[in-house]
Chain A
Amino acid sequence: MSPIVKLLAQRISLSLLLLLLISVVIFAGTIVLPGDVAQSILGQSATPEALANLRAELGVNDPPVQRYFAWLFGAMQGDLGTALTSGQDIAQALSSRIGNTLFLAFWAAVVAVPLAIFLGLLAVRFKDRWPDKLISAVTLASISIPEFLIGYVLMYFIAVKMRWAPSVAMINDSMSLLEKLHSIALPVAVLTLVVLAHMMRMTRAAILNVMQSAYIETAELKGLNAFQVIYRHAFPNAIAPIVNVVMINLAYLVVGVVVIEVVFVYPGMGQYLVDHVSKRDVPVVQACGLIFAAVYIALNMFADIVAILSNPRLRHPK
């Protein structure tokens, strides 16, 4: 087996092991949560008999280990159980929500990632001159302001005053892609502003780091212009840390946008999770937790793999 395949297999199995461990933590965490599920479903006026019936029906009386494995095997086969509150199949209810969340995250990433990298390269090119300072100042300011505030500010100027884009980012199946994109313009803008600085600064730092190497000097002496030096020599060597930070931000776009979803009334996973946490709907919380963990692990694994593949020293370990 070639060392690359071996390395990849190792990475992937480690990630799966990590996901397994997290599933234990999620399950244990939701079990030790205070409050009785049956009580919170039936409310204050529940009779003791009704509580006992519901507990038996939910299988809360079984030993935790047995419940964990039942849940885990179900989840592995795509059966996430049914929501306690509405009785709906969780996998089905979640699928459209995940679709929406990924749709928003995808378009935010399509805008933010190239823009961040381009701005990072631009900042390197004009290091310590006014474009660099302007880019840094603007992106750092936008990352420092709480995202809901950016949301409100954009909403006020762009939706209420100019009326260019809607303040309610409601999308549904009957809309065309263009209508959908118009609808999510504001949340995409806010998310872009929020994740831009992190990626831009990392690109700038990584490339500047590389730029001090001897081979860059050689490239310059060879007569390449500045952009070519950055693009052909510095960027490939700086790709690992950049991919890392890009992946962290992509993960954030998927799992961390609860606030944005609430502000722009976007029907994604965040709102769905929050609603069910407050109703103590444990199976849904577990399912969401598992999916969020999987997204995080997968994206970070991807970053690791790219880092390995882009670095000959890691590709061919001694």
Chain B
Amino acid sequence: MNRHMQYLASQAAAGKLSRRDFLGKAAALGFTAVSANLLLSTAAKAAGPQKGGTIRLGLQGGSTTDSLDPALVTNTVGLMVTRLWGEPLVELSDDGGIEGKLAESYEASADAKTWTFKLRSGVTYSNGQNVTSEDVVKTMERHSGEDTKSGALGIMRGIKDVRADGDSVVFELDSPNADLPYLLADYHLIIQPNGGNDDPAAAIGTGPYIMKSADMGVRFVAEKNPNYWGDLGNADTVEIIVINDDTARVAALQSGQVDVIDRVPPRTAKLVERAPNITVHSTSAAGHYVFIMHCNTAPFDNNDVRMALKYGINRQEMVDKILNGYGTVGNDTPINASYPMYTELEQRQFDPDKAMHHLKKAGHNGSILLRTSDNSFPGAPDASALFQQSLSSAGIQLDVKREPNDGYWSEVWNAKPFCTSYWGGRPTQDQMFTTAYLSTADWNDTRFNNEQFDQMLVAARGELDVAKRTQMYADMSTILRDEGGLICPMFNDFVEATTDNVEGFVEGIPGQVLMNGYAASKMWVKA
């Protein structure tokens, strides 16, 4: 799908591009946005959504230590539950643009520093209270206070001030940011009464469902919100069961105890699909599995060593053997076609000769130590062994050290100079780069320090000309690919499965897992 086109569409929707300009550009690109969208949903919507029944989801990633407080959500189960009872101001639309949720519309000042979001009128919380602009301000404050534990704190940092203005909310930014709507679509930023300050885990929101029971890490039940303003929510009841064991999750689907599961293990996905009543869905996504080197630590402070390792990895083999084909090859940048304003760069191939050449040029002798663990990504130790083999054909000796899962994220990742890890995607380039590749980023896990890159990142943020911005992001990806400490062999797909009790699953929706987390309210039970 053409993300550039989708971005244009979102700009048009946001009023930054006139409808005429938008249609003109679409035609110039030969793009058929309408037909693409139709294609996606024709099959599913042929019969039209049915009302009623219960949709049951078996999901991985919940824990008894979770909380219903949206600020503390860290996993898929938390995301799916939050999507049931709550809503953010705006949301990623199915074509990668932005659509209004609690905000009906929004506009930016010419310098992209002041943004005004107009609230939808007459929306009530599940406790009957009206949604006010004051609630939105309080919500934003709760997620950005100095002592907040919110997962959205990072993206709230650039916001200088939030104030209510009648039925609108005005955001003042430190510096121009054309991506603010994408940031506010973050799943932590659920609008709660009084900002959730009274009881953050009360699960009172404006979503299509109302929580009936919540047993953390075990089971959640929600019923249709009769006063929901929009058209989401087909089933009367949604039941989410936490099934962390892969085999048990697949068995629950096969035995008809749940209708939808996430994270089908790639190794068995083909076997699961053989069952006549089960469909496996694969959605290419922005998440990626990586090998990360600290650019400021010997021997990785020498770019030739980094290049040697980048040429010494066989990306296609990794996709075939580690992801069993459920993924795409990476190109040593965290950006792929899932992002708006994506430009394809020349694909780096496995080339032992070049790897050997770069290593010789670096004058490095001896072996290189790579640390890995099972939980750094599924199959990480196997991927490390494959890397070891492909490097040895280039005459480079890689030692693999297996670290315990426990403590990997505090002791090894972002601490040791070379290790395996993974990244979930972000909705925009700006967010991805700001989170992990800006020299001052907290999570700069490659210790990448490039002044030119930093300057371009800030400049691109305030650039409202899409073509210029696209070019800037392409240049930044090129810098990362050729100088960065990131070896990105593969982007992993979301592999999910449904039974034929339910309909309406749409593949390829950008964002998070399971139709960006809306599978429960957009799918329906077959009558």
Contact = CB atoms under 8 A, between A and B. Distances in A.
Interface of A: 34-35, 39-40, 42, 44-45, 50, 83, 85-86, 93, 152, 155-156, 159-160, 163, 166-168, 170, 172, 262-265, 267, 271-272, 275-276, 278-279, 281
A35 B407 contact: yes
A170 B255 contact: no
B65 A281 contact: yes
B410 A44 contact: yes
Given A168-B248, A265-B245, A275-B64, A42 B149 contact: yes
B36 interface: no
Contacts of A265: 218, 241-245, 248, 252
Nearest to B215: A267
Contact of B442 (A44, A155, A267, A278): A44
A50 B145 CA distance: 13
A278 B405 CA distance: 10
Contacts of B414: 44
B241 A166 contact: no
Contacts of B244: 262, 265
Nearest to A53: B147
Given A168-B58, A168-B248, A265-B244, 20 more contacts: A39-B410, A44-B409, A44-B442, A45-B153, A86-B64, A86-B66, A86-B67, A155-B248, A159-B251, A166-B257, A172-B215, A262-B245, A263-B247, A265-B218, A265-B241, A265-B248, A267-B215, A267-B218, A272-B64, A276-B64
Nearest to B239: A170
Contact of B258 (A159, A168, A262): A168
A115 B242 CA distance: 33
B256 interface: yes
A156 B414 CA distance: 42
Main SS class of interface, B = loop
Contacts of A262: 244-245, 248
Contacts of A271: 64, 217
B217 A160 contact: no
Contacts, number: 90
B216 interface: yes
Contacts of A278: 63, 406
Nearest to B413: A44
Contact of B255 (A45, A86, A163): A163
Contacts of A275: 63-65, 217
A125 to B, nearest CB: 39
Nearest to A46: B149
B253 to A, nearest CB: 9
A59 B410 CA distance: 23
27 contacts: A35-B407, A35-B410, A39-B410, A44-B443, A50-B147, A86-B66, A86-B216, A93-B64, A152-B247, A159-B255, A160-B254, A166-B255, A167-B248, A167-B257, A168-B58, A168-B248, A168-B258, A170-B218, A172-B215, A263-B248, A267-B218, A267-B219, A272-B64, A275-B64, A275-B217, A276-B64, A279-B65
Contacts of B251: 152, 155-156, 159-160, 167
Interface string B232-243: 000000000111
A122 to B, nearest CB: 34
Contacts of A83: 65
Given A159-B255, A167-B252, A172 B219 contact: yes
A163 B499 CA distance: 15
Nearest to B201: A86
Closest 6 CB pairs of A and B: A85-B65, A159-B255, A275-B64, A167-B251, A267-B218, A160-B254
Contacts of B407: 34-35
Interface string B144-166: 00010100010000000000000
Nearest to B414: A44
Given A50-B147, A265-B243, A281-B65, A170 B219 contact: yes
Contacts of B255: 155, 159-160, 163, 166-167
A281 B64 CA distance: 11
B64 A45 contact: no
Nearest to A259: B245
B241 A40 contact: no
A9 to B, nearest CB: 39
A276 B258 CA distance: 27
A68 B244 CA distance: 35
Contact of B243 (A40, A42, A168): A168
A39 to B, nearest CB: 7
Quick one: which of B215, B218, B407 has the most chain A CB within 10 A? B218
A170 B241 contact: yes
A170 B407 CA distance: 31
A268 to B, nearest CB: 10
Quick one: which of B65, B216, B241, B410 has the most chain A CB within 10 A? B65
B242 to A, nearest CB: 7
B376 to A, nearest CB: 15
Contacts of A281: 65
A278 to B, nearest CB: 7
Interface in B41-69: 58, 63-67
Interface string B391-429: 000000000000000110110001000000000000000
Interface string B287-327: 00000000000000000000000000000000000000000
A279 B409 CA distance: 12
Contacts of A159: 251, 255, 257
B177 to A, nearest CB: 21
Contacts of A93: 64
Contacts of A86: 64-67, 216
A276 B217 CA distance: 11
Given A35-B410, A168-B258, A267-B215, A276 B65 contact: yes
A265 B215 CA distance: 13
